[in-house]
Amino acid sequence: LIPTPEHVEAFRREISGATSVLIGTHLNPDGDALGSALGVAYYLAQEGIPHEIVCHHQPPFNLQFLPGVGKVRQAPAAKHDLGIIVDLDSLDRLGNMAPHFADLPRLVVIDHHVPHEAPGDVRIVDTSAPATAVILVRLFEALGVEFTPEMATCLLTGVVTDTGSFRFRNTTAESLSAAARLVESGGNINLVSEEVFQRKPLSSARLLGYLLERMKLELDDRLCYGVLDFQDFLATQADDVDTEGFVNELLSIRTVEIAAIFREPKPGRVRVSLRSRGDHDVAAVAREVGGGGHRNAAGCSFEAEIEEALELLLPRLRACLASS
């Protein structure tokens, strides 16, 4: 299990050798990114080690409840001699924060994504972990850290969001027991669930209404797609972030095996989200048009009209459905 005793020892050495720590996480931070970064910050505070947290983007609306979230900045104010980055495995994903980490003498990476660049002097990476927050729970337990209620709520947010509230396939005995451990330590699971999942803006609900009203089904209702054009975004005053999770609504229909959403939040720029069940490889489809992702969750975007994007992708999605 990761961290191994060697990882724990290496981490302990880095911390004891550091005078000041810069904590970072990825662009468009989610609950695991910010919850894990704040969990590390609470740990360093307990150890009496000065630290800062930076992120390219500000925390999104639905994560403003996180204890300590006000400490997240868009640039470091001080000098640091150790970096700890969580929930990402390439310095690119730090966005504008990347140069601040590239110059640090030492770097620790704690993550659960499949490594690409593999930066860092100490790497605590477990691709089978349900969330970075779960790796931190293991690490802090090995270090004998006392989980405060604030720290527990932050880490719990990572577990709850990355497991889709214990619905995704990464919901294991360990994700549940880590969550139970955090709730026992004072983590507020009701607050986390309400804030993360029950705080949708009205604009988002209206936009979803448009999508569901006009979605198209083909091939015995196995392929489902929908379009949200610039007029729809204008009419509802929604942003592209408000479409988070929409494609999963289409895939949640019993007969649907491939779902796609074509959206134009700004004129002339089309973003496409693709989802599939089982063996249908939508990442292969996305790669053919310059996008990428995982087999069952992929995306692409281009400068085009929505009609062109449909003409480009629909034949490929139909072929994908037929071939697997």
- Contact string (CB under 5 A) for Mn ion, positions 204-243, x = contact: ----------------------------------------
Q: Which of 18, 24, 41, 87 binds Mn ion (CB under 5 A)?
A: 87
Contact 87, 26 (CB under 8 A): yes
Asked whether position 111 contacts Mn ion by CB under 5 A, the answer is: no
For Cα atoms 129, 93, 297, give the angle at the middle one, nearest 5 degrees: 60
Q: Name the helix (H) or strand (E) containing 1.
A: none
Report the nearest approach of Mn ion to the CB of residue 71 (Å): 20
**What is the nearest approach in angstroms of Mn ion to the Cβ of residue 229?**
32
Closest CA to 156 of 66, 96, 237: 66
Residue 89 interacts with Mn ion (CB under 5 A): yes or no: no
Question: Which of 146, 171, 149, 147 shows the shortest CA–CA distance to 159?
Answer: 171
Nearer to Mn ion, 119 or 201 (CB): 119
Using the rule CB under 5 A, give the single segment among 4-12, 125-133, 211-219, 223-231 that binds Mn ion: 125-133
Q: Hey, is 126 helix, strand or coil?
A: coil
Is residue 162 at the binding interface for Mn ion, with CB under 5 A as the rule? yes
Nearer to Mn ion, 20 or 171 (CB): 171
The residue nearest Mn ion at its CB is 32
| Contact status, residue 171 vs residue 206, Cβ threshold 8 Å | no
Specify the residue, 130 or 291, whose C-beta has the smaller distance to Mn ion: 130
Give the shortest CB-4-to-Mn ion separation in angstroms.
Answer: 20
Pairing mode, strands 82-86 and 21-24: parallel
Q: Which residues contact 70 (CB under 8 A, 6 or more apart)?
A: none
Interface stretch with Mn ion, choices 19-27, 85-93, 141-149, 226-234 (CB under 5 A): 85-93
Residue numbers 127-146 binding Mn ion by CB under 5 A: 132
**Total of residues contacting Mn ion (CB under 5 A):** 4
Decide: is 32 part of the binding site for Mn ion (CB under 5 A).
yes
For residue 261, the SS3 value is: strand
The radius of gyration of the chain from alpha carbons, rounded to an integer in Å, stands at: 21
- By the 8 A CB rule, do 176 and 141 touch? no
Query: 61 or 168: whose CB is closer to Mn ion?
Result: 168
Sheet holding 82-86, edge to edge: 72-73, 51-54, 21-24, 82-86, 106-111, 122-125
Q: How far apart are CA 55 and CA 172, in angstroms?
A: 29
Segment contacting Mn ion by CB under 5 A, of 16-24, 135-143, 156-164, 199-207 = 156-164
Q: How far is the CB of 99 from Mn ion (least distance, A)?
A: 24
Contact flag: residue 150 with Mn ion (CB under 5 A): no
Tell how far CA 308 is from the center of its chain.
30
Distance between CA 285 and CA 197 in Å, rounded?
30
Is the Cβ of residue 132 or residue 236 nearer to Mn ion in the bound state? Answer: 132
Instruction: Find the part of the chain contacting Mn ion (CB under 5 A) among 81-89, 214-222, 246-254, 295-303.
Output: 81-89
Q: What tokens were used for 286?
A: 């996305």
Nearer to Mn ion, 110 or 208 (CB): 110
Q: Which is nearer to Mn ion, 32 or 229 (CB)?
A: 32
Distances (CA, A) of 63 to 145, 148, 256: 25, 19, 31
Q: Which of 163/204 has CB closer to Mn ion?
A: 163
Q: Which residues bind Mn ion (CB under 5 A)?
A: 32, 87, 132, 162
